Structure 1
Amino acid sequence: MKLAAIIILVVVGVAWADVVLPCGPHEEYTECGTACPETCDNLGETRPCILLCVRGCFCQQGYVRNNATGACVLPCDCPPKTTTVTPAPPTDTTCN
């Protein structure tokens, strides 16, 4: 009886490990995807990336991840990048 229970648990565990998650629009499941996918936030940037296989849903070729929505979009549909400008401290313009 215990052996049968162990066998069932092993079979269910193996079957569960092979389940492929459903991916969203413009995504595909990959067993060995990049650990540093391109996103709207890092679009076109050159950056170091660890060589590590990541299993999961990744954007299809030609699409990037929109960090705000989590959706895969065409690069031209990324929101505009915002930059933070720090104002310069005021200068004293009086003459003595």
Structure 2
Amino acid sequence: MCLGIPGRIVAVADEEAMLCVVDVSGVRRTVDVVCVATPDAPLDTLVGRWVLVHVGFAMSVIDEDEAAATLKVLTEIGEAAAEMEALASGSLDPLATPAA
């Protein structure tokens, strides 16, 4: 099962393509932020914000307490490890080249 996992936006990767770098428990990946970006605002306003990441997209902005609680629940139900493995392998990276 692929669930959303909290991560903190740490950098803008490509403003024009709406991509930012998200840190999820030490694993960094480029994600699409089109769903959470404010129209006409620079993407760097998102740096430092927590987001819920699902299949390479930041789906919603969440606060730090919600991020911690969600990571705790995912760990307790055993889903955090699978999500972290998917992030580490790059399978959730929208810039990753599909395997042949």
Fold-level similarity (TM above 0.5): no
TM-score (norm 1): 0.29
Q: Which has the higher contact order (CA 8 A, sep 6+)?
A: 2
**The structure with more helix, counted as a fraction of residues:** 2
TM-score (norm 2): 0.28
Structure whose alpha-carbon radius of gyration is higher: 1
